[in-house]
Amino acid sequence: MTVKLLDFSGLKKALGRNNIEFTDYFVKEFGVAYVIAVSREKCSGCEQQKPLFEKLSDKMKSKHGSRVEFARVHARYSKENREETMQCADTFRTVAFPTYLICIRNHQGKNMEMYRAIEPPMKEIERNIKTAVELAVWFESNRE
């Protein structure tokens, strides 16, 4: 499997400890598109799309190799305690799950979000990955 799984509580600690935004946690280098799925427990859409996202990851890794990285951030949820889910939504600036993001580093070295969608078709994510990889490679060759 080519999707790196992260528990939101651990990610939150790392973000706070390093005082960074989520884009700075995920985006490590020029020329790479970072695809992030944000999900939570007891989310039917998240469960339906999980295997599709994993298949997309395998397909895109074989097509783009090291030019694309995949991660899934998963938040815990219960009716009695929605705190982690709310913090996750706040951190990723979203209103629903699953949310998908694609981030890249621009030519000035700034980590940027270039795509965001809530429960999109995988074909849409695939199309945007292609664009993100092309853009990331262009930024890499034109960095300042």
pLDDT recorded at residue 1? 60
Residue 79 has what pLDDT? 85
Residue 66 phi/psi, 5-degree rounding, is: -75, 0
Tell me the sheet residues that pair with 113.
103
Task: Tally the domains of the chain.
Answer: 1
Reading the chain (144 residues) residue by residue, the pLDDT tens digits are 689 999 999 999 999 999 999 999 999 999 999 999 999 999 999 999 999 999 999 999 999 999 999 999 999 998 888 999 999 999 999 999 999 999 999 999 999 999 999 999 999 999 999 999 999 999 999 998
Q: What is the CATH number of the domain that holds 136?
A: 3.40.30.10
pLDDT digits (tens, 9 = 90+) for 22-51: 999 999 999 999 999 999 999 999 999 999
Under 8 Å between Cβ of 115 and 102:
yes
Q: Identify the domain containing residue 46 by its residue range.
A: 3-141
Beta strands of 8-81 (E only): which ranges? 33-40, 68-75
Q: How far apart, in whole angstroms, are the C-alpha atoms of residue 66 and residue 55? A: 17
Please give, one letter per residue, the 3-state secondary structure of 74-139. Answer: EECCCCCCCHHHHHHHHHCCCCCCCEEEEEEECCCCCEEEEEEEECCCHHHHHHHHHHHHHHHHHH
